[in-house]
Structure formats: C-alpha cells, structure tokens
Chain A
Amino acid sequence: MFTVFWSVLHRDLLLAMRRRTDVLTTLFFFVIVVSLFPLGVGTERAVLRVLGPGVVWVAALLASMLALERLFAADYEDGTLEQLLLTDQPLVLLTLAKVTAHWLLTGLPLVLIAPLVGMQYHLTDSSVAVMMLSLLLGTPVLSLIGAIGAALTLGLRGGGILLALLILPLYIPVLVYGAGAVTVGAVALGEAQPYLTLLAAFLAAALALAPFAAAAALRISIE
C-alpha cells in the first residue's frame, strides 16, 4: 500500500517539476496579491501590522483555490483518473497521495515565503513565527477541504466559480483562526496557543474525513 501511495505522490511531483509553470503561477499569485496591498493601503507601519495577517491568509486561501482546479482535472482529461479508480488499492489512499502532492507544491512554499512577507508588513519576529506555524497547520486543511470541492466539480463547465462557492464557507473557520493566531501572536507567542491548537484540530479532522469524502465524490463525478 505504501508503494502505491509513494508512486502516485512521486508521479504528481514529477509531473509538476516537468511543468513548472503551474506551480509557479500559484506562488507568484500569492506574492503579487500580498505585494499589492501595501501599495494600495499606504506604507504606514501601524496599518500594515494590523492588516498583515489577514491579507496573507486571504492570499493563501485564494492561491490555494487557484491551484485546486488542476488537482483532478488533468487526470480526468487524459483518462488516468479512471485507471486510478480501477486499481485494487483503496481510493482514499490515492486521493490522499494526490492531496499531499498538491500541498507540497502549493502550501509548503507559502510557509517558506512567510518571513519575506513578514518583512514587507513590518511584522515582529514572534508574529512571523506564529504565521509560519499557522500556515503550516492551515494550508493542509485548505488542500484537503478543497479536494472535496475539486472532486465534486470535476468535469463541470464553470467549475471554477462553483468550486469557490462550495468551499469558501468551509474555509472561513480556518481563515478566522489562522489570521487570529497571527494577530494575537504579535503580543506574545503563548497567546496564540489556543488558536494553533484549534487549527491542529481542524487538520486532524480534515485528515481523517476529507479523503473519504473526496474519494466518494470522485466515484460520482467519473460517471
């Protein structure tokens, strides 16, 4: 079973490396959105410090949604998705492998870029640390929940906006607690602990439930 998980994960990473534009698009979108706000809002430190966490989290959300459409669509179009459905390996495992690959390509880079963003918004060191941690816990949740939406809207015309409508309500708790963690964490690291614990709980729930929902949605969508 682990061989198959690793094979699918490796395949997705290999495909992304060979078509780097898809991955870089998401990353540059995040950077651009985050960079535009100081230009629009003004460079006053106090204002940027207050806005920073929210802006970064919304940008992470939008970037994640941008990449989600391609999660299953490419496989659906060339027939490899039906082959994945016809293996004797559990579809839940294969879905988890694809979502992991998606997170490694779109979520993890955001975590790594966070310090640069922190500099742009004049965030304190503890803020940046909390931001990285909240993104580390929150972006997998975005990928997992988004996978359900992507599986449901597979093959539909106008699927992009439908996907956004479906999963944005589910993203809101993650956004609230993620941005809240960073805002509170500016004061002291320990203050953010309840928020981070809740984010970790979201992650645990998503890891346990989302792959099953996404696998079921895939079976429905492939018909």
Chain B
Amino acid sequence: MGGEFADAGRAGAKMHDLNPRELPLSCRNRPQRLWLPLFAVSIGPCDLATSPWQPGVLPGRCLDPYPAYGLPDPMLQVAKLECRRGDRLLFCGLDFQIEAGTLLHVRGRNGSGKTTLLRTLCGLFTQDSGEVRWKGESIRTLAEDFRRDLLYLGHLNGIKGDLTGVENLRLAATLDGDRVGRDALWAALGRLGLAGFEDVPTRMLSQGQKKRVALARLILSRAPLWVLDEPFTALDVDAVDLLQGLIAGHVAAGGLTVLTTHQAVPLTSGQARHLDLGA
C-alpha cells in the first residue's frame, strides 16, 4: 500500500495494513492501538502507562495538548525532493507523506543525506527542486506558522556553555513562545535526571548531560512535529529509555517525529516507518 516509501519497514508492515483513511473518524484521533501492545512488549519496562511523559503534569503550566493534532492527513508531505551538496547529488525524486501519530526513522549510511533531508524538512536548507508541505501548504509560504509547529534538535546541542541549564531552557521556552514558570523548568530538568545540575554552567557538564539539557525542551514543547537528528548519541542507558518514552508518548498523542539514529533502539525496531536513503 501507499508506495510512498523507498523501502517499507519490516516490523512496521502491520501498521501499514491499516489505512487511517478507512477508519471511522473517531478512531483516527485515538492513539494507534494496534501497535501499542506490541510496542510495550518490545521495550519492556518503559511502556506507555508508566511513561515519564504526561501532558499537563508539570507545575505552573497550563497545557492544552496539541490542539493542532488530528487535523489534515497527511500532515507532512514531501514531493519530488532533490538535494545536492556542492556537486554531489544526495537524493532526487523523494516522495513520502506521514500522518499524525507517526514515527519516521530515516536510515542510511554516513553521507547518504540524512541530515540534509532533516534540515530541508525544517527549512534550514534549500532544496534544488521539489516541495515540503505541512498541512497541505508549502513550508516556504507558511513560514512562521510552520516554525511554530516545529521542534528541531540537530547535531549541535543548541545550548550556550556559559549559561546554566535553567537559563538555557528558559530561553528556549521563550523562543518557542511559551511562558514557562521557574518550577516547570526545574521539574523538566529533574525529569531528565539533572537534579542538582540545573544551575551549573553547562560547559561544566559532561557531553551526555549537555544532551539532556538540550532534550529537556522536548518536555516543555507543544510543537506537533519533532525533527531529531541523532538524538541518542552520548546518552547512557537510562537516558535512552527516557527519550524513547518521551518520543513514544508524543507519537501516541498524535504528534509526528522524524528521527535518524544509528543505534538499534527498540523504538525504531518496533512499530515505526522507515525511510532508507542511498538505497
């Protein structure tokens, strides 16, 4: 079905059999129940019932979970995308679309264009030809409306070494347009295992801890689309589980996640769509 993907995922085949458009409307907005029990089995202790991520729990913050979700399917569309880096053609004729409540895992060898694809999806990189559409409109036309719905974590952490974790997170939240109270910031950092390190300048933290500070944005963000470039690098086992829980919760609530990773994590070997570049 679909034929939008260069190579459909093996474990993901089950999900593809169920065409969201054929479901009655009331089913669409509920979490994808078919893969939920499979997912819980595959990653063991970190199942969604005890997921660390729960909307509206952070103190001092009134969360209105994802008002944009459940709207037009598909949410993110890529049409005939072609990208070059210098003289090298990375990919051409790339077509796919993903709906709400999907996790897209972009796979490929080093240098196959995964990061370039992710940056093109965000609008940071201009493609040679083709279009990226969000909710049916080109992201160039949408401009800030698209950026409001987007959260991007790239290779670089996007945090300042001379600022403390709390200051970094407060700035990130302000730039996202949220008014987040002090308690919520400290709670978010605590949830990521940084209790006691919140008010230390981040240049004094280890690589993994810096990554955790960068990931704290995921807890506070209300953006439906997450684009994560190698989010599992430098994280220890606990943090990997934590991050998987965050992403799983986000997708279960109807958000979209596009990520690349070289690590074999249950999240991507479970029910996830796959896109192979350079195949």
Chain A residues with CB under 8 Å of chain B are 3-4, 7, 11, 14-15, 18-19, 77-80, 82-90, 222-223
Chain B residues with CB under 8 Å of chain A are 122-126, 144-145, 147-148, 150, 152, 154-163, 167, 171-172, 174-177, 201
Which B residues touch A222, using CB under 8 A?
124
Identify whether the interface residues of A are mostly helix, strand, loop, or mixed.
helix
A15 and B160 alpha carbons, distance in the complex (Å): 9
Which A residues touch B122, using CB under 8 A?
86
| Contact status A87-B158, CB under 8 Å | no
| Contact status A86-B152, CB under 8 Å | yes
- Give the Cβ gap from B153 to chain A, nearest Cβ, in Å: 9
Closest partner residue, chain A, to B175 (CB atom): A87
A18 and B160 alpha carbons, distance in the complex (Å): 12
Identify whether the interface residues of B are mostly helix, strand, loop, or mixed.
loop
| Contact status A86-B147, CB under 8 Å | yes
Which B residues touch A7, using CB under 8 A?
171, 174-175
| Contact status A18-B162, CB under 8 Å | yes
A69 and B255 alpha carbons, distance in the complex (Å): 40
| Contact status A11-B148, CB under 8 Å | no
**Which of A14, A18, A78 is close to B158, meaning CB atoms less than 8 Å apart?**
A78
**Which of A11, A14, A82, A90 is close to B154, meaning CB atoms less than 8 Å apart?**
A82
Which B residues touch A82, using CB under 8 A?
124, 152, 154, 156, 158
| Contact status A11-B160, CB under 8 Å | yes
* Known contacts A79-B157, A85-B124: A14-B175 contact under CB 8 Å: no
Which B residues touch A87, using CB under 8 A?
147, 175-177
Closest partner residue, chain B, to A85 (CB atom): B124
Could you list 15 further interchain pairs (A-B, Cβ under 8 angstroms) beyond the known A14-B163, A87-B175? A3-B174, A7-B171, A7-B175, A11-B163, A18-B162, A18-B201, A78-B157, A78-B159, A83-B158, A84-B175, A86-B124, A87-B147, A87-B176, A89-B144, A223-B126
| Contact status A83-B174, CB under 8 Å | no
A117 and B161 alpha carbons, distance in the complex (Å): 36
A85 and B152 alpha carbons, distance in the complex (Å): 11
Closest A-B pairs by Cβ, 3 of them: A79-B156, A88-B144, A88-B148
| Contact status B157-A15, CB under 8 Å | no
- Give the Cβ gap from B161 to chain A, nearest Cβ, in Å: 7
A223 and B85 alpha carbons, distance in the complex (Å): 10
A88 and B122 alpha carbons, distance in the complex (Å): 12
| Contact status B159-A80, CB under 8 Å | yes
**Which of B124, B125, B155, B167 is close to A14, meaning CB atoms less than 8 Å apart?**
B167
A223 and B119 alpha carbons, distance in the complex (Å): 9
A220 and B159 alpha carbons, distance in the complex (Å): 22
| Contact status A223-B124, CB under 8 Å | yes
A20 and B154 alpha carbons, distance in the complex (Å): 29
Which B residues touch A19, using CB under 8 A?
162
